[in-house]
Chains A and B, each alone.
Chain A
Amino acid sequence: MDRYQLAKLVQWAQECSAEGLKSRKRLQKVVYLLQCAGCPLDADYSLHYYGPYSGEVAQITDELVHAGLLVEEQTQNPVGKQFNYKLRGLAADSLGVFEATPTGHDARQRLAPFEERAKQLLELGLSELEYAATVAYFHQKETNWKSAFQKLCDFKRLSPDSCAAQSALRLAEQVVK
């Protein structure tokens, strides 16, 4: 994944909501699910306690903040801190400038088919994203929805009949290419 791709996701999030991209967990899971849908983001993921996690995505986010391209806002939620992101004006301008170049145009074209899916995912709840990304992760390892679903239920201690587990499975099945 590169800086442009991450900035583009934040821009899409801002188009959905003026508050921008809310929480790093949302970013992590949306990137993962988009990759499962075939979006060429190419971030490395491993399994953490809250589902698939990419140090690379976290790294690029912090790099963009450090470079003054993203604004990071910290809020408190019931379980701890949450970090939200928006593009700085400078970054929004340079996105436009870059997309006007031939290389930027190509980069834009590669992401364009996934814009609608990305916006749909960005608006979902955090738990739904976490469970869907987790079952999709197990599916990538097992290539079998039944055993991936069982692993999700064991891993997250969910009842297989619960709405949360069932809707995560439906979402993952829709997304995974």
Chain B
Amino acid sequence: MSAKIFRDPIYNYVSIDRATDSWLIRLLDCPEIQRLRRIHQLGISNFTYPGAEHSRLSHSLGVLSLMQVALAHLAHGGHRGIQVTNARSALLAAALLHDVGHGPFSHVFEPCLGIHHEEWSRQIILAEDSACHKVLKSVDRFLPSKVADLIDPDNREDPSWMKYLLSSQLDVDRLDYLQRDSSFSGAGYGHYDWFRILNSFQLYGSEKEDRAIVWEQKSIWALEEYVFARYYMFQNVYLHKTTRGFEKMLEALWRRGREMFHSGDAASLVSPIREFWTVQDITNYLRIEEFTVLHQIQKWAECTDKFLSDLSRRFMNRKPLSLISLPVCFDEIHDGIDRAAKLDQWHNALCEVVEAAQFPSEWYCLRDEVKPKYHQPYFPEKEEDEQSPKTAIRVLQNGQTRPVEISMLCPRLQPVAVRVAPTVRHYVPPELRNAANELRLRWKPT
């Protein structure tokens, strides 16, 4: 029986063996997964990188493909134990389903709907009437709950190595999206030797222990390259200032729309949005597509609320807000213990400029706080005795019996593993850019 083969721009081919894994083809055909075809992997990054049009479905297939490589490596590398054999179906299914709960525009839209995609993924997998639940149950009646547990960040029952492959600082999810996002955006920073990475790890510990994944010494350069690729992608693509500005604008206009809905104005809402905001169940959630969101914004662009229509038009016509950086007194080393209070003061000062020009600051003075974890591509996890050491990258050197965390072996990684203060930037209408920048130059905290 031949394999089902998909062409893929990253791996050339992704294949599913019909003889052993025909259920994966049935899973792929489920409406909940096919829906991912209509979700942009990179949200609205195509506002900045026009090529970034790829979907969550192609990413999910890529993750499945990499999980197949990892499991084949374990099987060929002397880890044919019962634990690995039993884990196979759950890991393959989780690879394909890990993003099934994503909503329109992926992560970008989560604050707009007030959702977390992981929670929806679990709900969809566990819902007895979902097509993917039925396929999983036909393979093994416990498979839906095994898969849901694997993608649950709070679940600590599964073996560490399984969780690691799926969700860690070097999991198959990251290994795929960095390459795919780099390739489609055209940014080109996501190059690393993924094949070596997935063919040079082993399970550390005896069968009776909770075994962890460690890498062989020969892979450290590929691992170092991977961490830097992640750093460059965050700096250049994921945190791009223009994209972030549009994301904040989208959040603001959606907040305004939701506020109007809660104050009784549901007239301008398209029905899937109105129904989801009324009853937040799986059926209503899955009906919200990217075209639903864009249709909604088009409607708002014509609505009578001056600010909602203005923001909607700016979004649809790609008219960005202007970025205003922090005043120089916010140098990360020299600002002190009262940084949060100073940031609030600066925000309030900018809001006054915006309000003076008759723009409500709530919608037109947008604060973007980039969490430090996005500037730090890798966390060495110094608290190994106190927390989980299971997500860091560890290397077993030749002749040694205990693995070592990789930044101890590659000092070049240490500068990008240092914790920095959150980056804060503001966005205001372009017509206020000069006034805001003048304030920025002379502003001092009181």
Residues in chain A within 8 A of chain B (CB atoms): 2-4, 7, 23-25, 28, 46-50, 53, 55, 58-59, 62-64, 66-69, 77, 79-83, 91, 94-95, 98, 101, 103-104, 107, 141, 155
Contact = CB atoms under 8 A, between A and B. Distances in A.
Contacts of B333: 66-68
27 contacts: A2-B339, A3-B337, A3-B338, A4-B337, A4-B338, A4-B341, A24-B382, A25-B383, A47-B156, A48-B156, A48-B388, A50-B386, A59-B373, A59-B419, A63-B372, A63-B419, A63-B420, A66-B333, A67-B421, A80-B384, A91-B336, A91-B337, A94-B337, A101-B341, A103-B338, A103-B344, A141-B154
Query: Helix, strand, loop or mixed for chain A's interface?
Result: helix
A23 B386 contact: yes
A80 B385 contact: yes
A174 B106 CA distance: 41
Given A3-B337, A66-B418, A103-B338, 5 more contacts: A4-B338, A24-B382, A48-B388, A49-B388, A83-B383
Contact of A98 (B154, B341, B345, B388): B341
B159 interface: no
Query: Which are the 3 A-B pairs with shortest beta-carbon distances?
Result: A80-B385, A62-B419, A2-B340
A55 B386 contact: no
A30 B235 CA distance: 34
Nearest to A58: B383
A4 B373 contact: no
Contact of B337 (A7, A59, A77, A81): A7
A4 B340 contact: yes
B29 interface: no
By size class, the interface of chain B is 20 to 34
B160 to A, nearest CB: 9
Nearest to B373: A55
A98 B383 contact: no
Contacts of A50: 386-388
Q: Is the interface of B mostly helix, strand, loop or mixed?
A: loop
A141 to B, nearest CB: 8
Given A62-B419, A80-B384, A103 B341 contact: yes
Chain A CB within 10 Å, residue with most, of B338, B345, B418: B338
B332 interface: yes
Contacts of B154: 46-47, 141
A59, A66, A68, A101: most-surrounded residue (chain B CB, <10 A): A59
B46 to A, nearest CB: 30
B353 to A, nearest CB: 21
Given A63-B372, A83-B382, A49 B387 contact: yes
B367 to A, nearest CB: 15
Contacts of A2: 339-340
A81 B384 contact: yes
Nearest to B383: A24
Contacts of B335: 67
Nearest to A106: B341
B153 interface: yes
Nearest to A64: B337
Contacts of A107: 341
A40 B390 CA distance: 30
Contact of B385 (A59, A82, A94, A98): A82
A94 B336 contact: yes
B420 A66 contact: yes
Interface string B46-79: 0000000000000000000000000000000000
Contacts of A104: 338, 341
A58 B337 CA distance: 16
Given A63-B421, A94-B338, A104-B338, A24 B373 contact: no
A4 B385 CA distance: 27
A79 B341 contact: no
Contacts of A46: 153-154
Nearest to A61: B419
A141 B420 CA distance: 32
The winner among A49, A67, A141, A155 for most chain B CB atoms within 10 A is: A67
Nearest to B385: A80
